[in-house]
Amino acid sequence: MFTRLAKAAAGFTGRPLCFCLALGTVLVWAISGPLFKFSDTWQLVINTGTTIITFLMVFLIQNTQNRDTAAMQIKLDELIHVTDAARNELLDLEELEEDELERLRTRYEEMARKARQASDARRAHGRDSQR
Protein backbone atom coordinates (compact mmCIF):
# COMPACT_ATOMS: atom_id res chain seq x y z
CA MET A 1 0.00 0.00 0.00
CA PHE A 2 2.85 2.41 0.84
CA THR A 3 4.44 1.81 -2.56
CA ARG A 4 1.20 2.70 -4.37
CA LEU A 5 0.82 5.82 -2.21
CA ALA A 6 4.46 6.80 -2.80
CA LYS A 7 4.12 6.32 -6.58
CA ALA A 8 0.94 8.38 -6.69
CA ALA A 9 2.40 11.13 -4.49
CA ALA A 10 5.63 11.23 -6.51
CA GLY A 11 3.64 11.40 -9.72
CA PHE A 12 1.50 14.26 -8.43
CA THR A 13 4.25 16.25 -6.73
CA GLY A 14 6.43 16.07 -9.83
CA ARG A 15 3.84 17.83 -11.98
CA PRO A 16 3.69 21.55 -12.74
CA LEU A 17 0.20 21.70 -11.20
CA CYS A 18 1.59 20.74 -7.79
CA PHE A 19 4.32 23.36 -8.07
CA CYS A 20 1.69 25.97 -8.97
CA LEU A 21 -0.43 24.95 -5.98
CA ALA A 22 2.57 25.27 -3.67
CA LEU A 23 3.51 28.62 -5.18
CA GLY A 24 -0.10 29.78 -4.84
CA THR A 25 -0.14 28.78 -1.19
CA VAL A 26 3.03 30.76 -0.52
CA LEU A 27 1.64 33.78 -2.37
CA VAL A 28 -1.64 33.66 -0.41
CA TRP A 29 0.37 33.38 2.80
CA ALA A 30 2.63 36.31 1.83
CA ILE A 31 -0.28 38.50 0.72
CA SER A 32 -2.12 37.75 3.97
CA GLY A 33 0.83 39.07 6.01
CA PRO A 34 -0.54 42.61 6.44
CA LEU A 35 -3.97 41.22 7.38
CA PHE A 36 -2.39 39.28 10.26
CA LYS A 37 0.11 42.07 11.00
CA PHE A 38 2.97 39.70 10.17
CA SER A 39 2.39 38.05 13.55
CA ASP A 40 4.31 35.15 15.02
CA THR A 41 1.31 32.91 14.38
CA TRP A 42 1.26 33.98 10.72
CA GLN A 43 4.94 33.02 10.40
CA LEU A 44 4.42 29.80 12.34
CA VAL A 45 1.75 28.65 9.88
CA ILE A 46 4.12 28.63 6.89
CA ASN A 47 7.05 27.30 8.91
CA THR A 48 5.03 24.42 10.34
CA GLY A 49 3.36 23.61 7.03
CA THR A 50 6.56 23.55 5.03
CA THR A 51 8.40 21.56 7.72
CA ILE A 52 5.72 18.86 7.80
CA ILE A 53 5.57 18.62 4.01
CA THR A 54 9.36 18.49 3.73
CA PHE A 55 9.56 15.80 6.42
CA LEU A 56 7.00 13.61 4.64
CA MET A 57 8.50 14.22 1.19
CA VAL A 58 11.89 12.93 2.36
CA PHE A 59 10.38 9.48 2.85
CA LEU A 60 8.49 9.55 -0.44
CA ILE A 61 11.58 10.66 -2.35
CA GLN A 62 13.70 7.98 -0.66
CA ASN A 63 11.16 5.29 -1.54
CA THR A 64 11.05 6.42 -5.16
CA GLN A 65 14.85 6.60 -5.30
CA ASN A 66 15.20 3.11 -3.83
CA ARG A 67 12.81 1.63 -6.40
CA ASP A 68 14.49 3.43 -9.30
CA THR A 69 17.93 2.36 -8.13
CA ALA A 70 16.85 -1.27 -7.70
CA ALA A 71 15.28 -1.33 -11.17
CA MET A 72 18.36 0.24 -12.75
CA GLN A 73 20.61 -2.23 -10.93
CA ILE A 74 18.58 -5.17 -12.24
CA LYS A 75 18.81 -3.79 -15.78
CA LEU A 76 22.56 -3.34 -15.48
CA ASP A 77 22.93 -6.83 -14.02
CA GLU A 78 21.03 -8.23 -16.99
CA LEU A 79 23.30 -6.38 -19.43
CA ILE A 80 26.39 -7.70 -17.66
CA HIS A 81 24.93 -11.19 -17.61
CA VAL A 82 24.17 -11.32 -21.35
CA THR A 83 27.42 -9.68 -22.48
CA ASP A 84 29.97 -12.39 -23.23
CA ALA A 85 33.04 -10.27 -22.45
CA ALA A 86 31.59 -8.97 -19.17
CA ARG A 87 32.71 -10.33 -15.82
CA ASN A 88 29.73 -11.84 -14.01
CA GLU A 89 31.45 -11.38 -10.64
CA LEU A 90 30.62 -7.68 -11.01
CA LEU A 91 26.88 -8.37 -10.86
CA ASP A 92 26.48 -7.58 -7.15
CA LEU A 93 28.93 -4.72 -6.64
CA GLU A 94 26.38 -2.78 -4.61
CA GLU A 95 26.73 -5.47 -1.92
CA LEU A 96 30.51 -5.04 -1.50
CA GLU A 97 32.15 -3.16 1.34
CA GLU A 98 33.43 0.35 0.67
CA ASP A 99 37.11 -0.64 0.62
CA GLU A 100 36.41 -3.40 -1.93
CA LEU A 101 34.53 -0.94 -4.13
CA GLU A 102 37.40 1.53 -3.85
CA ARG A 103 39.91 -1.12 -4.98
CA LEU A 104 37.75 -1.91 -8.02
CA ARG A 105 37.24 1.79 -8.78
CA THR A 106 41.00 2.36 -8.64
CA ARG A 107 41.61 -0.59 -10.97
CA TYR A 108 39.05 0.66 -13.51
CA GLU A 109 40.35 4.22 -13.30
CA GLU A 110 43.83 2.88 -14.10
CA MET A 111 42.42 0.92 -17.04
CA ALA A 112 40.71 4.09 -18.31
CA ARG A 113 43.91 6.12 -17.91
CA LYS A 114 45.90 3.56 -19.91
CA ALA A 115 43.20 3.46 -22.61
CA ARG A 116 43.28 7.28 -22.90
CA GLN A 117 47.08 7.24 -23.15
CA ALA A 118 46.96 4.57 -25.86
CA SER A 119 44.31 6.56 -27.73
CA ASP A 120 46.35 9.76 -27.45
CA ALA A 121 49.44 7.90 -28.70
CA ARG A 122 47.51 6.50 -31.68
CA ARG A 123 46.21 9.98 -32.55
CA ALA A 124 49.68 11.50 -32.20
CA HIS A 125 51.20 8.72 -34.30
CA GLY A 126 48.50 9.20 -36.94
CA ARG A 127 49.28 12.92 -37.17
CA ASP A 128 53.02 12.30 -37.33
CA SER A 129 52.62 9.79 -40.17
CA GLN A 130 50.46 12.25 -42.13
CA ARG A 131 53.23 14.87 -42.19
- Closest of 56, 74, 71 to residue 13, by C-alpha: 56
Domain that holds residue 16: 2-94
User: What is the domain count for the chain?
Assistant: 2
pLDDT value for 128: 58
**Is 75 strand, coil or helix?**
helix
pLDDT tens column, 31-70? 999 999 999 999 999 999 999 999 999 999 999 899 999 9
Quick check: 109 pLDDT over 70? yes
What is the rounded average pLDDT for all residues in the chain? 90
Do both 86 and 122 map to the same domain? Answer: no
Do both 35 and 69 map to the same domain? Answer: yes
Task: Give pTM, 2 decimals.
Answer: 0.62
Do both 105 and 77 map to the same domain? Answer: no
**Is 1 strand, coil or helix?**
coil
Please tell me the distance from the alpha carbon of residue 78 to that of residue 62, in angstroms, as a whole number.
24
Do both 67 and 19 map to the same domain? Answer: yes
Q: What is the mean pLDDT of residues 97-126?
A: 92
Quick check: 87 pLDDT over 90? no
pLDDT value for 51: 97
Please tell me the distance from the alpha carbon of residue 19 to that of residue 68, in angstroms, as a whole number.
22
Do both 55 and 101 map to the same domain? Answer: no
Do both 53 and 106 map to the same domain? Answer: no
Is 75 within 8 Å of 61 (Cβ atoms)?
no
The larger pLDDT score, comparing residue 27 to residue 95, is at: 27
